[in-house]
Amino acid sequence: MTATHSLYRRAAASLALLWLAIGALMVLAAGVGAEEPILPIPKQVDVDPAKAALGRDLFHDTILSKDGTVSCASCHDLASGGDDGRRVSVGVDDKPGMVNAPTVFNAAMNFKQFWDGRADTLEDQIDGPVQSPFEMGSVWPEVVAKLYRDDEYRTRFERLYPDGINRKNIKNAIVEFMNSLSTPNSRFDRWLEGDKTALNARELRGYELFKDYGCASCHQGANVGGNMFQVFGVLNDYFKKRGDITEADLGRYAITGNDEDRHAFKVPSLRLAALTAPYLHDGSAATLRDAVDAMFEFQLGREAPDEDKEAIVAFIKTLVGESKELSP
Ligand code: HEC
Ligand code: HEC
């Protein structure tokens, strides 16, 4: 009797569990159906404030360059959007580089760094600008020695890092600062979070078009980009049209040597695109509208009415969030 009773109870309990599981699955399915391809930027980032402050000073200090003429901020001006407004960057000895400088805002959210994704982390990325002859032209032992000779830097490093000034700790402080450079609370994020008044009708239509035309299949996630590689010129050969192919145009191919990576680039974040003209890895698109035109021509291989393109531009402008470093 008791045995049957407990058998019933167990059966009833498993039935209840089954219903719970089915219910949960249904909620999940509904959630997935309603999910947007773009996520809000997290409002809080965990950084060590003292290390980030040290990193901020290093970021703005020309001491990192070989002749004291160039800082990270020379090419990544934070107040105006974290880039330099040039077609391609210019480093020490006035040497022009080969590509357009991306913004450093929200770079911490990218799955890889640089247009061709050659650095896996922000730490690895810093070796690039510091040592590149087209950027700061330094060598690490010199940078370490110069900082060591500066009493203030030496004291600050010794206070924050048991092993004082070295390449690893310099990079750590700069990365800590870059981790703080996020731009939450954009109008679009507020809309995502439920404030349906945050966008006007045209901007909202722009977002719908952005999804319908397939822009969001490449520009997606919290950074509206930065989470995959894609060939530039999927549907029309951009490079044939532009001519004069440079090494930088090879994109990811230069790293992997795989044919399918020829002209593949990290899909850039559109978060601050409203502020970071000119556009594309070669800086060839002067305005946001030009970049959107190029996307229609080369990535989608289709025409679109002017008003659709303008609505998409209006939507992209709602992606700009807030940072105390930013004052456009
Ligand atoms: C001379 C101009 C110049 C200087 C100086 C410079 N950068 Fe850059 N930065 C660039 C360019 C150009 C790129 C793109 C290079 C590429 O993708 O091949 C870039 C890329 C980056 C990226 C990758 C962003 C992304 O979305 O892939 C980060 C992060 C970055 N720089 C941070 C820094 C830091 C930190 C410093 C100082 C240590 C610095 N940069 C100094 C021009 C510069
Ligand atoms: C197949 C993937 C793909 C699709 C679809 C796509 N893009 Fe892009 N987008 C890219 C890649 C890759 C780049 C970088 C190309 C380069 O610089 O060489 C880019 C660059 C951009 C840029 C320039 C950003 C910058 O900072 O330089 C904008 C703006 C942009 N896309 C908007 C859009 C819009 C709007 C759509 C839809 C109409 C769209 N994209 C569709 C992959 C895509």
Task: Give the distance (Å) from ligand 2 centre to CA of residue 292.
Answer: 7
Do 249 and 158 share a domain, yes or no?
no
Residue pair 171/125 in contact (Cβ under 8 Å)? The answer is no
The finding on whether 41 has its CB within 6 A of some atom of ligand 1 is no
Indicate if ligand 1 lies below 6 Å from the C-beta of 91. Answer: yes
Atom of ligand 2 nearest to the CA of 266: 12
The verdict on 140 and 59 lying in the same domain is yes
How remote is the CA of residue 267 from the centroid of ligand 2, in Å? 6
Residue 120, in any domain of the structure: yes
Q: DSSP label at 35?
A: -
Question: Nearest ligand, CA of residue 115?
Answer: 1
Q: Are 89 and 82 in contact (CB under 8 A)?
A: no
Domain residues for the domain of 310 are 187-317
Per-residue pLDDT of the chain (328 residues; tens, 9 = 90+): 455 555 555 655 555 555 555 545 554 444 444 589 999 999 999 999 999 999 999 999 999 999 999 999 999 999 999 999 999 999 999 999 999 999 999 999 999 999 999 999 999 999 999 999 999 999 999 999 999 999 999 999 999 999 999 999 999 999 999 999 999 999 999 999 999 999 999 999 999 999 999 999 999 999 999 999 999 999 999 999 999 999 999 999 999 999 999 999 999 999 999 999 999 999 999 999 999 999 999 999 999 999 999 999 999 999 999 999 998 5
Q: Could you give the number of structural domains in the chain?
A: 2
70 domain-assigned: yes
pLDDT attached to residue 3: 52
For the CA of 113, the closest atom of ligand 1 is: 27
The answer to whether residues 192 and 70 belong to one domain is no
Q: Which atom of ligand 1 is nearest to the CA of 174?
A: 35
> 191 and 146: one domain?
no
Nearest to 234 by CA among 202, 262, 254: 262
Query: Are 266 and 172 part of one and the same domain?
Result: no
Question: Per the domain annotation, does 75 fall within a domain?
Answer: yes
Please tell me the predicted confidence (pLDDT) of residue 103.
Answer: 98
Cβ-Cβ contacts under 8 Å for 321 (sequence gap 6 or more): 41, 182, 183, 184, 185, 186, 189, 271
DSSP string, 182-207: -----HHHHHHTT-TTSS-HHHHHHH
- Quick one: tokens of 19? 């219903």
Same domain assignment for residues 74 and 107: yes
Mark 180-200 as b/e (b = at least 16 C-beta within 10 Å): bbbbbbbbbbbbbeeeeebbe
Looking at the domain assignment, is residue 158 inside a domain?
A: yes
Residue 217: Cβ within 10 Å count:
13
**Residue 199, in any domain of the structure:** yes
Q: In this predicted structure, what is the pLDDT of residue 14? A: 59
Asked if residue 80 lies in contact with residue 73, where contact means CB atoms within 8 angstroms, the answer is no
Between CA 65 and CA 238, with CA 252 as vertex, the angle to 5 degrees is 105
Q: Is 236 found in the same domain as 266? A: yes
| HEC readout, 101-154 | CCCCCCHHHCCCECCCCCECCHHHHHHHHHHCCCCCCCCHHHHHHHHHHCHHHH
Helices 151-160 + 140-149 axis angle, to 10: 100
pLDDT of residue 327: 85
Residues 298 and 201 occupy one common structural domain: yes
One domain for residues 63 and 123: yes
| 142 shares its domain with 209 | no
Q: Is the CB of 295 under 6 A from ligand 1?
A: no
| CA-to-CA dists, residue 158 to 48, 52, 153, 167, 174, angstroms | 15, 15, 8, 14, 16
Domain boundary among 134, 162, 179: 179
Question: Residue 309 Cα, ligand 1 centroid: separation in angstroms?
Answer: 30
List phi, psi (to 5°) of 175: -65, -40
Residue 125 Cβ inside 6 Å of ligand 1? The answer reads yes
Q: Which ligand is nearest to the CA of 228?
A: 2
The answer to whether the beta carbons of residues 122 and 108 sit under 8 Å apart is: yes
Same domain? 230 vs 134: no
Which residue from 104, 109, 181 has its CB within 8 A of the most atoms of ligand 1, so it is best to mutate? 104
- Asked if residue 1 is part of any domain, the answer here is no
Probe residue for ligand 2, chosen from 230, 295, 296 as the CB with the greatest number of ligand atoms within 8 Å:
295
Task: State the ligand closest to the CA atom of 261.
Answer: 2
Query: Is residue 14 included in any domain, yes or no?
Result: no
The helix/strand count (H/E) of the chain reads as 13, 2
Both 102 and 199 in a single domain?
no
For residue 260, which amino acid is it?
Answer: E
Half-sphere exposure of 175 (CA within 13 A, CB side): 16
pLDDT at 33 (0 to 100): 43
* Domain CATH number, residue 247: 1.10.760.10
Check if 129 has its Cβ closer than 6 Å to any atom of ligand 1: yes
Locate the ligand 2 atom nearest the alpha carbon of residue 230 and give its number: 12
Q: Which of 133, 154, 179 is the endpoint of a domain? A: 179
Closest ligand 1 atom to Cα of 130: 38
Residue 325 lies in a domain: no
Residues labelled as active-site residues: 135
User: Of 131, 158, 179, which one is at a domain's C-terminal end?
Assistant: 179
Residue whose CB lies within 8 A of the most ligand 2 atoms, among 89, 215, 269, 276, for a mutation test: 215
